[in-house]
Amino acid sequence: MSELFPMKAIKQIFPLLAAVISLGLGGCATTLTNLTPLNIPENPSGIYTFSVSAKIRQTNADMESIKTTIVINGEEHKMELSDIGSDIYDFDYKMPRDLNELGYYYVFEYDFYTDREPRHFKKFSDVYKAQLVNRYIIQLESDRAPVGSSVAVVGRGFSEHDVILFGNNEVPTEHASSNALSFIVPSMAAGKDYHVSLRTGQGDISIGLFRIDSASINAFLENSAITSGERTMMLFTIGFAAPPGGLYVELTTDIPESIIMPEVTIPEGARSVNVPLEGGVPGRGTLYVDVPGFDTVEVPITVF
């Protein structure tokens, strides 16, 4: 009976298997990590650094044979070892004037030895995309403030159409220059962190988290003791100009049959408002002043 695998064939297969296994081990021992961001801030020189981290955990690699290449829009460029790390490679690319988006990938190769036989390893990274942006956020003047505060945002390429968002809510935004914006901290629940972003014609740009601290509102009654049918005035004041659309003040009481009162809104741009209250049936209780982001104010009142 003839052999299923002749000895001569087995002798030829073994070296091939050894080569495949050793090459596979080389691949498993090498990782490529792209260090170049998707969005790259535009600069006046038009030169942009592309970086990749290539880690070899294989002990039999010939470190002198390492070659790292970046292929940008089909063109190969040799990368050099970076000053900031022993396994980081850089390439400074001069971007053509008419180009603001490109595709690229890395090629990493080196020699290694298996049973004293030289082998060559070559690895291709994923294909990445890079895009120039002519605007970017540098920093917020502060990452927390009470309602009504004006907070500056420093960056580049701002326009008069840009708007700051708290979550999905647009807030009053002032365009000072192409490098500076400011916004008014909105009347929202205090003691919480909100995601802040910049809405532009090209999409939203994340800025970070912002915490709203409690603000203060003052409420003064002209007369806290009135008779049924008598009217008194109540003054509400805040420490800043009310935002566009005005600032709604929720005024409630635990003696609703004793107090007749209107809805309260501090007008846009105003810092105070005076509203009339009228006595109803006799009673003694409290007026509650609530505004999102403000401390609650309690004012006693008596109707007799």
* Token digits of residue 136: 């970017």
For 44, phi then psi, to 5°, come to -60, -30
- pLDDT of 10 > 50? The answer is no
Quick one: fold of 217-303?
Immunoglobulin-like (2.60.40)
Residues 242-260, mean pLDDT to the nearest whole number: 93
**CATH no. of 7-133:** 2.60.40.10
Written as one letter, the residue type at 241 is A
Enumerate the domain spans of the chain.
7-133, 136-213, 217-303
Question: pLDDT tens digit string along 49-104?
Answer: 999 999 887 778 888 899 999 999 999 999 999 988 788 999 999 999 888 889 99
Question: pLDDT tens digit string along 176-233?
Answer: 998 899 999 999 999 999 999 998 877 788 888 999 999 999 999 999 999 999 999 9
- How many CB atoms neighbour CB 276 within 10 A? 12
Contacts of 176 (CB under 8 A, 6+ apart): 152, 182
Residues 244-260, mean pLDDT to the nearest whole number: 94
**CATH no. of 136-213:** 2.60.40.10
Would you say the C-alpha torsion 206, 207, 212, 215 has a positive or negative sign? negative
- pLDDT of 7 > 50? The answer is no
Q: How much is the pLDDT for 9?
A: 39
Written as one letter, the residue type at 231 is R
Question: pLDDT tens digit string along 19-40?
Answer: 334 444 444 568 899 999 988 8
Q: How much is the pLDDT for 28?
A: 54
Question: pLDDT tens digit string along 135-192?
Answer: 777 788 999 999 989 999 998 888 889 999 998 899 999 999 988 999 999 999 999 9
> Look-up: residue for tokens 């912002």?
210
Q: Do the domains 217-303 and 136-213 match in fold?
A: yes
Contacts of 53 (CB under 8 A, 6+ apart): 31, 32, 33, 35, 85, 87, 88, 89
pLDDT category of residue 119 using cuts at 50, 70 and 90: confident
